[in-house]
Amino acid sequence: MLIMKMLYVVDSNGEEREGIKQYLELSGYEVQAFEDLHGVQVALSRQTPDLMLMEVQFPDGDGFTFLKKLKQTYSFPVIFVTTRVAESDRILGFELGADDYVCKPFSSKELVLRVHALFRRIDVSVSAFKSGSTWTLGNSVLQLDEVSHLFSVDGRQVPLTAAEWRIMSYLVSNSGILITRSQILEHCFDYSFESYDRIVDTHVKNMRAKMGPLGSQWIETVRGYGYRFAGRSTTNRAHGGSDTQE
């Protein structure tokens, strides 16, 4: 039996909020709608959604600031659906941890397709490591288990955002192989625009910081091209990767 996914829709515009809610419900999702950030905070104390779609501008706060604080505690994906259409706003949204950014006005059908695509990427990421995987780099040990949503380095649990999980899974599943920024954008975000390259760099920088002193060794920079995961598999469960370092 399939479990219906729970989505939060957060928008101070009542007409647009209800329109998004109804279209997502018709597409098979369970949806709770909120008109302000306070309502979401109260709801999060009771239930965590599978995905949140939200505006940026609210009477009681700013969506960018809210997302930054949210990512300190939660890892569920977030899609901005907003009137803030400037490129600088889109890039900021991604850098803060958004998984997609939809500008108003938008096609309801396209929005639902983006939601479907996001869940497909998450499902593929999970299926790649059904039983978990263990990797070594010298005396350091990294463990990744998508099913239990646990990621650790040398026994220390490392919290990752949904976007970081996808990037890490993609790099690990291609261990030893050079992965370009464009490949990461296309595989993990469905974006290939050069202007978004720095989004990848920001995510990798944050991931390395969370991983500790060896973060930049686990994820190597190949100047002018992209990144390469340098760990050696001890479980041989990574798909499409190599068990040797270059």
* Domain range enclosing 36: 6-125
**48-82 tens-digit pLDDT:** 999 999 999 999 999 999 999 998 888 889 999 99
Question: Average per-residue pLDDT in the chain?
Answer: 86
Whole-angstrom distance, CA of residue 99 vs CA of residue 78: 6
CB 89 within 8 A of CB 65: no
Rounded average pLDDT over 123-138: 68
Q: With 50 as the cut, is the pLDDT of residue 239 above it?
A: no
Which domain-ending residue is among 73, 104, 125? 125
Question: Which pTM does this prediction carry?
Answer: 0.69
How many Cβ atoms are within 10 Å of 222's Cβ, its own excluded?
Answer: 12
Please check whether residues 113 and 213 belong to one and the same domain. no
Please check whether residues 117 and 11 belong to one and the same domain. yes
Which domain-ending residue is among 76, 106, 125? 125
How many structural domains compose the chain?
A: 2
Query: 137 or 133: which carries more pLDDT confidence?
Result: 137
**157-210 tens-digit pLDDT:** 888 887 888 899 899 989 999 999 989 988 887 665 555 778 888 889 989 999
**21-57 tens-digit pLDDT:** 999 999 999 999 999 999 999 999 999 999 999 999 9
At 85, which CATH number? 3.40.50.2300
Q: Is residue 58 part of a domain?
A: yes
Rounded average pLDDT over 136-165: 86
Q: Is residue 63 part of a domain?
A: yes
CB 75 within 8 A of CB 47: no
Whole-angstrom distance, CA of residue 73 vs CA of residue 68: 10
Please check whether residues 65 and 16 belong to one and the same domain. yes
Please check whether residues 13 and 119 belong to one and the same domain. yes
At 176, which CATH number? 1.10.10.10
Q: Is residue 242 part of a domain?
A: no
CB 63 within 8 A of CB 41: no
Please check whether residues 69 and 93 belong to one and the same domain. yes
Q: Is residue 1 part of a domain?
A: no
Whole-angstrom distance, CA of residue 106 vs CA of residue 110: 7
Q: With 90 as the cut, is the pLDDT of residue 99 above it?
A: no
